[in-house]
Amino acid sequence: MLDLELRNNPYRDDKVMGSCSVFGMMEMRGRCVKGEPVIEAMSSMKERSNGLGGGFAVYGLYPRHSSDYAFHVMYESVQGKELTEAELERNFDVVHDEEMPTNPHNGVPDPPILWRYFVSPPPEDGTRFQELVAREVTHINTTVRDAYVFSSARNMGVFKGVGFPEDIARFFMLDEYRGYIWLAHGRFPTNTQAWWGGAHPFSLLDWAVVHNGEISSYGTNRRFVEDYGYRCNFFTDTEVVAYAIDLLVRRHGLSIEMASKVLAPPLWDRIDRMPEPKRALYSSLRSNYAGLLLNGPFSVIIGREGEMIGLTDRMKLRPLAAATGSNMLYLSSEEAPIRLVAEDLERVWSPLGGIPVIGRLGEGISYDDEEA
Amino acid sequence: MLATQLLAEFKIQRDEDRCIRCKVCARQCGFEVHAYDEETDRMVSDQSKCAGCQRCAVLCPTGALTVALNPQSYAPNYNWTRERISDLKRQAETGGVLLTGCGNDKPMRIYWDHLVLDASQVTNPSIDPLREPMELRTFLGRRPKKLEVVDEQPVDGHPQVRIDLPLIFSALSYGAISSQAQESLARAATAVGTLFNSGEGGLPKALRGYGDHVIVQCASGRFGVDPDYLRRSAMIEIKIGQGAKPGIGGHLPGEKVSRSISAARRIPVGTDALSPAPHHDIYSIEDLRTLIYALKEATNYEKPVSVKIAAVNNAAAIASGIVRAGADVIAIDGLRGGTGAAPKVIRDNVGVPIEMALASVDSRLRSEGLRNECSIIAAGGFRCSADVIKAVALGADAVYLGTAALVAMGCTLCQKCYTGICNWGICTTDPYLSKRINPDIASKRLIAFLSAWALEIKEMLGGMGINAIESLRGNREHLRGVGLSDWELEVLGVKGAGQ
């Protein structure tokens, strides 16, 4: 997309603000399930969005292409499609492509051209291929006319657009898909010029992020990740969260638990009281990654291959509810939607600020609130 | 010799009805302005000697004294102001370089006063620091590009110094200031969990117990530098330049070099202490690297090494070189930084305002991908907590406070520091004058002003919805400019108000 910055931030605000509803659902054994509960849950939180953005990320949705990278791309012109396809052909082995199946009769106005591509990775060196994909997607998103990549990861896809989440779900006919992780987002932007690429989830490699909040440390965080080569073209907190977690976990090799102590660290008072060697670790994480502390209100649900993570700011200035039952993990802006769609819940709780809820295939659910 | 043609700077008015001839004014004035005339049983004043420090007026028990600018004036002239005429006459009488003290007092634009702060409304909540935690703890030193963690333990990295608030006392050397004043700074820094800076005059034995809270300087004269001095410090600072006198060295006259100063500086009693303009072993960036690593070797890589430069035209490029040369901290001292003595023409005409230098250094280090690898300390004329928080938003990790600390102790910026006479007992080594600073009292005043600024900083942070100072660092989105032109906004990296 040429002029991506201007497109997503037409008034050149310091950042694009928006509040929202978030919901996440994970089948803990990795079995793929239908997304109807997620859509129903989002629909029940209608007051939290205003019809200017809705979207979903689904993990495990392409069993027949499970080892291929799926590119979900939107185009605003045929020319953009041709340019992008030339790019993809040049760099990748595209094994299959097709128009995204949509239902045109559901009242979502002016959809862009939506296409998906399946790319077969080379057998060796997965990390280098990931880097190549990340670079290529950034290249298309920032320099190719009228094209924007929603997602580009293995057996995972993002569906999003301008509308209420349930409208977007109907438009993309999400009842046709099954996944073991579903993330959903309903947007309430204060910026009125919504466009399809600006909806959430925001995705980078296999990360998908849905986010509710407004981070006061945005400028500091943006400059920090830019030091490491990321470019923040969207001017949204969500984008910064995605880059921060990618930097800490994929590139710097920290665990999700440690990364969450960077993004939402305990107060110094608490760190000072920790026993060694825990104190040394927490102190080091905080002082060395001070520029990644996400300050101000946020609740975020992050997905990646085999994992779903819920995290709020350390003061818990935005809501997040969690629940488990029948091999499912639910994360939601509100508790009511969880109760609406799931009956046999074992545990329903309100995670404390800064304490991550992590669902991991094969390992179960981790939530360690001991230090709180 | 002709009598001086100069007009007295100040006019002293004494209310004779109030004066009780107690002679406090005569005893307090080191410039010998006041005297008692027995014949008439009256106090008399020679106002031509008055520095305007207000010591006599403040201490007069009956409030009989008023010291005000002398209204006598030459014919109004925009070009030939009274200051220009007086300075020229003084030079015509002495033939010398005019000296002065304190920072640049000229009406150059103070950008702090053209920057306004943000606050939260609706979309995120502001925070009340009286009810919610608010963190000012800051670490100074090099940070690794990537933190190595093995078995849940950080691999020992670079040394960092913790400060509990982003306010540090600036370099004020023993000799330039009295030992009592230096001890007051040491005690206050220790009490609030921050640092003081020894300046280039060494560290008297009595203050070596404050090692965890001292930044020791290694300046061009190398005064007082010995292994113990380096090893007892929290941090070492190579002083290249000073905002009040970029490119200029220092000169402590021999008459000031008493026994104790000679011991601290490691020079013979009565000899002039000359700090050369450059370090004569640093004529290039690679020479600086040699000294940085010599100091690191000498201290077993346990201390961060800071390099302090005056803010000059190419500060951004120089700073980038300094980080690449191995410095862990860069201190930048702006145009309005203070001094105990400097040529007036240098103080008033050389350098760059700290706001501009700080913004351009921070931006350059970011574009070079180096910003996260070092800390930046900004210095040069910080007057209030709002200046400090704006500096943090422009990219500073912490600020140096020199003049502000002196004012808290008693200084009134009369700018006569270079005379060696300081009626407030700060900038003098005369035992009669310097005992006027009681470290018990002066350190309390310093602690109080730092605590007050810290509270104000917390209020402003909370208003912006931020509860840890690191989240404001370089966060220029929280600033807007008022009354600034496009190029000024561009250098500062902030938008205009309303944009």
Task: Check CB contact under 8 Å for B471 and A285.
Answer: no
Q: Mean pLDDT across the stretch B311-323?
A: 97
Asked if residue A345 is part of any domain, the answer here is: yes
Residue A192 has pLDDT above 60, yes or no: no
Let me know whether B412 and B472 are in one domain. Answer: yes
Asked if the C-beta of B62 comes within 8 angstroms of chain A's C-beta atoms, the answer is no
Residue B2 has pLDDT above 70, yes or no: no
Place of tokens 């600018």: B69
Count of structural domains, chain B: 2
Q: Say how far apart CA A319 and CA A335 lie, in whole Å.
A: 9
Which residues of A, range 252-281, sit inside 8 Å of B by Cβ?
Answer: 252-254, 258, 267-269, 277, 280-281
Asked if residue B225 is part of any domain, the answer here is: yes
- Give chain B positions within 8 Å (CB) of A19: 123
Place of tokens 């009488």: B93
Over residues B250-299, the pLDDT tens digits come to: 888 888 888 999 999 999 999 998 999 999 999 999 999 999 999 999 99
Q: Say how far apart CA A245 and CA B45 lie, in whole Å.
A: 72
Q: Which of A223, A253, A288 sits opposite B143 (nearest CB)?
A: A288
Structure-model confidence comparison of residues B236 and A18, the more confident one: B236
One-letter identity of residue B403:
T
Let me know whether B352 and B485 are in one domain. Answer: yes
Question: Residue A222 sits in which domain range?
Answer: 11-60+161-366
Burial class (CB in 10 A: 0-12, 13-18, 19+), A45: buried
The pLDDT confidence band at residue A19, using thresholds 50, 70 and 90, is: low
Task: Check CB contact under 8 Å for B475 and A219.
Answer: yes
Chain B residue with minimum CA distance to A284: B154
Read off the CATH number of the domain in which B387 is found. 3.20.20.70
Q: Are B478 and B465 in contact (CB under 8 A)?
A: no
Residue A372 has pLDDT above 70, yes or no: no
Asked if residue A291 is part of any domain, the answer here is: yes
Task: Check CB contact under 8 Å for B473 and A220.
Answer: yes
DSSP string, B139-198: EEE---SS--EETTEEPP---EEEESSSEEEPB--BTTB-HHHHHHHHHHHHHHT--EE-
Over residues B445-454, the pLDDT tens digits come to: 999 999 999 9
Asked if residue B106 is part of any domain, the answer here is: no
Task: Check CB contact under 8 Å for B465 and A297.
Answer: yes
Residue of B231, B213, B232 whose CA lies nearest to B298: B231
- Give chain B positions within 8 Å (CB) of A251: 146
Residue A191 has pLDDT above 70, yes or no: no
What is the average pLDDT score of chain B?
Answer: 95
Asked if residue A71 is part of any domain, the answer here is: no
Asked if residue A266 is part of any domain, the answer here is: yes
Asked if residue B478 is part of any domain, the answer here is: yes
Asked if residue A121 is part of any domain, the answer here is: no
Residue A2 CA to chain centroid, in angstroms?
23
Range scoring the smallest mean pLDDT among A5-14, A80-89, A279-288: A5-14
- Give chain A positions within 8 Å (CB) of B125: 297, 317
Asked if residue A75 is part of any domain, the answer here is: no
Residue B1 has pLDDT above 80, yes or no: no
One-letter identity of residue B21:
R
Let me know whether B378 and B445 are in one domain. Answer: yes
Tell me, letter by letter, the H, E, C secondary structure of A85-115.
HHHHHHHCEEEEEEECCCCCCCCCCCCCEEE
Place of tokens 């490699």: A205
Asked if the C-beta of A295 comes within 8 angstroms of chain B's C-beta atoms, the answer is yes
* CA angle (B173 as vertex; B172, B178 as ends), nearest 5: 95
Asked if residue B95 is part of any domain, the answer here is: no
**Pairs from A131-135 (Cβ < 8 Å, separation ≥ 24):** A132/A91, A133/A69, A133/A205, A134/A204, A134/A205
Asked if residue B89 is part of any domain, the answer here is: no
Residue of A22, A9, A14 whose CA lies nearest to A187: A22
Q: Are B143 and B170 in contact (CB under 8 A)?
A: no
Task: Check CB contact under 8 Å for B124 and A12.
Answer: no
Over residues B464-487, the pLDDT tens digits come to: 999 999 999 999 999 999 999 999
ipTM at complex level: 0.87
Let me know whether B135 and B29 are in one domain. Answer: no
Let me know whether B66 and B123 are in one domain. Answer: no
Q: Are B20 and B104 in contact (CB under 8 A)?
A: no
Asked if residue B93 is part of any domain, the answer here is: no
Place of tokens 């030091």: A227
Asked if residue B438 is part of any domain, the answer here is: yes
Which residues of B, range 363-422, sit inside 8 Å of A by Cβ?
Answer: 366, 369, 371-372
DSSP secondary structure letter of residue B340? S
Task: Check CB contact under 8 Å for A287 and B473.
Answer: no
Active site residues of A: 20
What is the pLDDT, as a whole number, of residue A371? 63
Let me know whether B150 and B282 are in one domain. Answer: yes
Asked if residue B317 is part of any domain, the answer here is: yes
- Give chain A positions within 8 Å (CB) of B133: 267, 269
Q: Are A182 and A45 in contact (CB under 8 A)?
A: no
Let me know whether B120 and B37 are in one domain. Answer: no
Let me know whether B163 and B215 are in one domain. Answer: yes
Render the burial of B16-38: b for 16+ CB within 10 Å, e for the rest.
eeeeeeeebbbebbbbebbeeee
Over residues A34-75, the pLDDT tens digits come to: 999 999 999 888 888 777 889 999 999 999 999 999 999 999
Let me know whether B63 and B131 are in one domain. Answer: no
Residue A308 has pLDDT above 90, yes or no: yes
- Give chain B positions within 8 Å (CB) of A226: 366
Residue of A78, A197, A56 whose CA lies nearest to A137: A197
Asked if residue A323 is part of any domain, the answer here is: yes
What is the pLDDT, as a whole number, of residue A18? 65
Let me know whether B377 and B276 are in one domain. Answer: yes
Asked if the C-beta of A322 comes within 8 angstroms of chain B's C-beta atoms, the answer is no
Count of structural domains, chain A: 1
Let me know whether B68 and B159 are in one domain. Answer: no
Let me know whether B272 and B131 are in one domain. Answer: yes
What is the pLDDT, as a whole number, of residue A110? 87
Question: Residue B437 sits in which domain range?
Answer: 116-496
Read off the CATH number of the domain in which A32 is found. 3.60.20.10
Q: Are A56 and A159 in contact (CB under 8 A)?
A: yes
Asked if residue A5 is part of any domain, the answer here is: no
